[in-house]
Each structure stands twice: as C-alpha cells, then as structure tokens.
A and B are shown apart, each in its own frame.
Chain A
C-alpha cells in the first residue's frame, strides 16, 4: 500500500465534481423557485420586480461558492505527484461545500418564493425577507469556509516518493 497510489486522483476529482454539481442543484432550485414567485409578483405590481430579484442573485452566489471551491481543488491535483491523503481531503472539502450549497439554495428558493408573494400584499415584509435570505445564504458560506480550510491542510500533506 503506497502513499501515492495512481488511483488517488479519482477521489480528488470526485471532490471537484461534488462541489460543483451539488451547489448547482441548490442554485438551480433557488433560481427556478424564486423566479416563479417573481413572475407572479410582476403580474400585479411590476414596479417591485427589481427589488424582488434579491433571492435570484443570492442563489447565483451559491453557484459561485461551488465554482470557487472546484477551481481551488482542481488546481491542486497534479498527475503523478498526488497522495491519497490529499485525495480524501479534497473529496471531503468538495462534499462540504456541495452539500451546504444544496441546503442553502433549497432554503433560498422556498423563502424567496413565499416572501415575494407576500411582498405583493405588504411592502413592509421586504426587510424581513432580506434578513431571512441572508441567514440562508450564510449556510453556504460556512461550507465554503470549511472547504477552504480543508484545502489548505491538503497542500501541506504527505510528499510522494520520487518516481
């Protein structure tokens, strides 16, 4: 059993894929669900559409979190010089960012949809909506932070014996 087996990049790339795809699930759900609410709002009060685009923007930021983590992890996977330790740490980092992005995007979608529908009837709910959306967004940020910390620990991992 070697420190740097040739199948270590399998797990590293699995981390990259899970960071990007799982956070895209959250972002896509958030965009679509909030977009339905915004179109419903637009039929009654078109002047409020611009302010109610906030849930869609925040769902897009979740996808950016996934992109950042994917780019950082895939920059550290080098052919021939990649330990199994780094592979598993990168897999964990990708899963951390992806799963939290999935949860955050799901929350943003549901909150955005119901809150913009309430915004049509009562304009004072706007501040409450933004506060709730920020709390939902910060879940994805926690995953990003943990993924970045794990990635830096993978950089200082085992060194491969020279080929």
Chain B
C-alpha cells in the first residue's frame, strides 16, 4: 500500500509519554543552553575589560547571576512537569485526558525552553555591554543594569505561561476499562 498523510492518525497513535518526555527534555535543555550562552558572552567581556579595569570583576557578577536564573526557571518547570509522569499500562493509556496532558507538557516545555533561551542570550548581550560601559565609567553600571532587568522579565513570562498551560492537566491516569482506540 502507499503512503497515508493523516495528521490526526499520527497525533492519536503517538504515545502521550513521547510528547511529555520531549517537552521536559527541551525545556531544561534549551533553558540551560540560553543560560550558558549568556554566561559566555558576559563572562568573556567581564574578563576582557578586567585586564585594564580590575575593579569591574566583582560588581559585574550580577549579570552572570541574571543569566543563571534563567536555567533555574527551566529546572523548576522540569520538576513540576515530571511530577505528572505516572506509569499507566499501554492498553489503558489512550484517554482524552492523557492526550491533553501530553500535548500540554510538550508545548509548555517548548515555550519555557525557547523563552529562556532568548532571555539568556539577551541578558548576556546587555551584560556584556554593561561590563564594557562600567570599565569606561563606573557611574554607568547601574543605569545599564535597568536594560538587563527588562531583558530578564522575558524568562519570567515564559515561566508563568508554562505553569498556566499545565494548570488544567492532571497526572497520567489509567482509563477505567480497556476500550478500543479512542475516536
């Protein structure tokens, strides 16, 4: 027989655990990628500027902490989501509520991961410019820090949306009885 392009059949056949696991993995992976990227951009500027102005090295650690907070958001959401992963036998798994939970965790994980990735990069770039401005003139650091605070609220928004998406999603629960494939 030939190929069949049936999106609905694909979505019904894939296990909700596949969706949930992928979401949790992407959530923590992308968040940590954003945090690491931000730290590398900021850290290299701090160390480079610190060659001529060693006084900037301690104060600019705040920028590194802003980047790391993004990774902590990813860890929090990862722990909250994986609390919903309960074991259900294969023949009792495919219920509408389990499908809902699987999709919610998948898209929630992608939302949190990508928002944290972007937030980490933005905070890293602004932290780098704050370090260089601080090396030029110490009074500038606090003013450029305001831009960094605006950058870090995006990670917080991702956390809020990630928590709201799984608000109505219960744990994976077994169906009451063995039923044929859900229509």
| Chain A residues within 8 Å of B, Cβ to Cβ | 1-2, 5-7, 9-10, 13-14, 16-17, 20-21, 24-25, 27-29, 31-32, 34-36, 38-40, 42-43, 46, 49-50, 53, 56-57, 59-60, 63-64, 66-67, 70-71, 74-75, 77-80, 82, 163
B118 touches A25 (CB 8 A): yes
Report which B residues bind A (CB closer than 8 A).
8, 11-12, 94-97, 99-101, 103-104, 106-108, 110-111, 114-115, 118-119, 121-122, 125-126, 129-130, 132-133, 136-137, 139-140, 143-144, 146-148, 150-151, 153-154, 157-158, 160-161, 164-165, 167-170, 182-183
Main secondary structure of the interface of A (DSSP, over half): helix
- The CA-CA distance from A66 to B153 in the complex, in Å, is 13
Knowing A32-B125, A50-B143, A79-B100, say if A60 contacts B136 (CB, 8 Å). Answer: no
Q: Please determine whether B168 and A57 come into contact, CB atoms closer than 8 angstroms.
A: no
CB-defined contacts of B140 to chain A, threshold 8 Å: 39, 42-43, 46, 49
Q: Is the CB of B182 within 8 A of A6?
A: yes
Interface pair A67/B118, CB less than 8 Å apart: no
8 contacts between A and B (CB under 8 A): A13-B106, A24-B158, A29-B122, A31-B126, A32-B151, A46-B143, A60-B153, A66-B157
- How far in angstroms is the closest Cβ of chain B from A11? 9
Q: Give the residue name and chain of the B residue nearest to A75 (CB).
A: B164
Q: A13-B165, A20-B111, A35-B125 are in contact. Are A7 and B147 (CB under 8 A)?
A: no
- The A-B contact count (CB < 8 A) is 161
Contact of B147 among A25, A53, A66, A75 (CB under 8 A): A53
How near does chain A come to B1, taking the closest CB pair, in angstroms?
Answer: 21
Asked if A13 contacts B108 (CB within 8 A), the reply is yes
Are A63 and B157 in contact, CB atoms less than 8 angstroms apart?
yes
Cβ contact within 8 Å between A28 and B122: yes
**In the bound complex, CA of A27 to CA of B161 (Å):** 16
Given A9-B99, A10-B11, the answer on whether A16 and B111 have CB atoms closer than 8 Å is: yes
B residues near A5, Cβ cutoff 8 Å = 8, 12, 183
CB pair B147 A17 closer than 8 Å: no
Instruction: Assess whether A20 is in contact with B158, with CB atoms less than 8 Å apart.
Output: yes
Q: Name the contact of B164 in the complex, choosing from A24, A59, A64, A71 (C-beta under 8 A).
A: A71
On chain B, the residues within 8 Å of A163 by CB distance are 96
* Neighbour of B136 across the interface among A27, A43, A79, CB < 8 A: A43
Q: What is the bound-complex CA distance between A57 and B129, given in angstroms? A: 18
Question: Which of B8, B104, B122, B154 has a CB less than 8 Å from the CB of A7?
Answer: B8
A6 and B99 in contact, given A16-B107, A56-B147, A78-B168 (Cβ under 8 angstroms) = yes
The residue from B137, B144, B157, B165 contacting A35, defined by CB atoms under 8 A apart: B144
Q: Which residue of A lies closest to B96 (CB)?
A: A6
User: Besides A21-B110, A35-B126, 20 other CB < 8 A contacts?
Assistant: A9-B99, A10-B11, A13-B104, A13-B165, A16-B165, A20-B111, A20-B161, A21-B118, A24-B154, A24-B157, A25-B118, A28-B118, A32-B151, A34-B147, A38-B147, A42-B140, A49-B144, A63-B157, A64-B157, A79-B101
Q: B154, A53: Cβ atoms under 8 Å?
A: no
